Amino acid sequence: MARARRALGTRAVGHTGTLDPFATGLLVLLVGRATRLARFVEQQAKTYLAVATLGTATTTDDLTGEPTGRRFDGPGEPDRAGVEAALRSFLGAQRQRPSSYSAKHLDGQRAYARARRGEVVELAEVPIVVHALELVRYAYPEVEFRATVSPGTYVRALARDLGERLGTGAHLTALRREAIGGLRLEQAVPLAAVSPESLRPPLAVLAHLPRIAVSEAEATALGFGKAVPRDEGAVAPVLAVAPGERLVAVGRLDGGAFHPEVVLEAAS
């Protein structure tokens, strides 16, 4: 973040979800007034390429932890068909237990901070959705897979649970974020190349949301935080887009009007 702020010449830089220290891949940065859009970007599904190593469970569910020493009662080295069947069993809506070393808050503290002090941390299961999960490569003990998951899903917890279902134990050893919604890694700019010229318009990160077109006069009204009339039914969130593909505001359609909730173009 500090390097991005220096390159862009502003402190108003935010991100839409951190990566684990050993992970690589896509990180969406929002600049200036666009930092207000973070929650809309974070609500999108994310795609990861991951590697789980079978045979050992760790305290953190990934390669940064210590082996738990737990013994598993599986039949031995699973075959490819067994791994594929186990991966398919995770598809759909379910509940997941986050890692004890996650950034989840527990009684006002980060779970990982308490776990590192040696406390026993038990986090409640949370609802998640696994939209897609495919086996990319299997060479025991490594299972490389690609997962598209809902916000709040821990891929290292998927690796842990895969090991549980196979009866071998497992932990995550590599992770690369490939996409957030329609934003893909191959479209990204390397950190060393970040500059004001590399910025994309705010509309580019919210292409998944419905939009309404507004006139220049309506854009000015929205800049003052005023609602503008519309006959559409109740929908939220909705983008208000002015001529020139300018994202003016994000808000809701309700009661015969568009009500701005996040304003990108403040009236002068």
Residue 212, Cβ neighbours under 10 Å: how many? Answer: 16
**What is the per-residue pLDDT for 69?**
86
**What is the per-residue pLDDT for 265?**
84
Shared domain check, 245 and 170:
no
CATH classification of the domain holding 256: 2.30.130.10
Instruction: Please report how many Cα atoms fall inside a 13 Å half-sphere around the Cα of residue 246, on the Cβ side.
Output: 16
Assess if residue 228 is contained within a domain. yes
**What is the per-residue pLDDT for 73?**
81
**What is the per-residue pLDDT for 101?**
63
Assess if residue 54 is contained within a domain. yes
- Which residues of the chain have a pLDDT value below 70? 101-121, 267-268
Assess if residue 188 is contained within a domain. no
**What is the per-residue pLDDT for 121?**
61
Return the structure tokens found at 135. 């086996």
User: Active-site residue numbers?
Assistant: 20
Assess if residue 192 is contained within a domain. no
Assess if residue 114 is contained within a domain. yes
Buried b (16+ CB within 10 A) or exposed e, 17-39: eeebeebebbbbbbbeebebbbe
CATH classification of the domain holding 95: 3.30.2350.10
DSSP 3-state helix, strand, coil percentages of the chain (rounded to 5)? 25, 35, 40
Shared domain check, 254 and 160:
no
Distance from C-alpha of 43 to C-alpha of 234, rounded to nearest angstrom? 20
pTM: 0.90
Shared domain check, 146 and 88:
yes
Beta pairing class for 46-54 and 142-149: antiparallel
Shared domain check, 141 and 230:
no
Shared domain check, 221 and 171:
no
Distance from C-alpha of 116 to C-alpha of 88, rounded to nearest angstrom? 33
Assess if residue 39 is contained within a domain. no
**What is the per-residue pLDDT for 105?**
60
**What is the per-residue pLDDT for 64?**
92
Assess if residue 219 is contained within a domain. yes
Residue range(s) defining the domain that contains residue 72: 45-180
Shared domain check, 168 and 49:
yes
Shared domain check, 230 and 133:
no
As for how many domains the chain has, the answer is 2
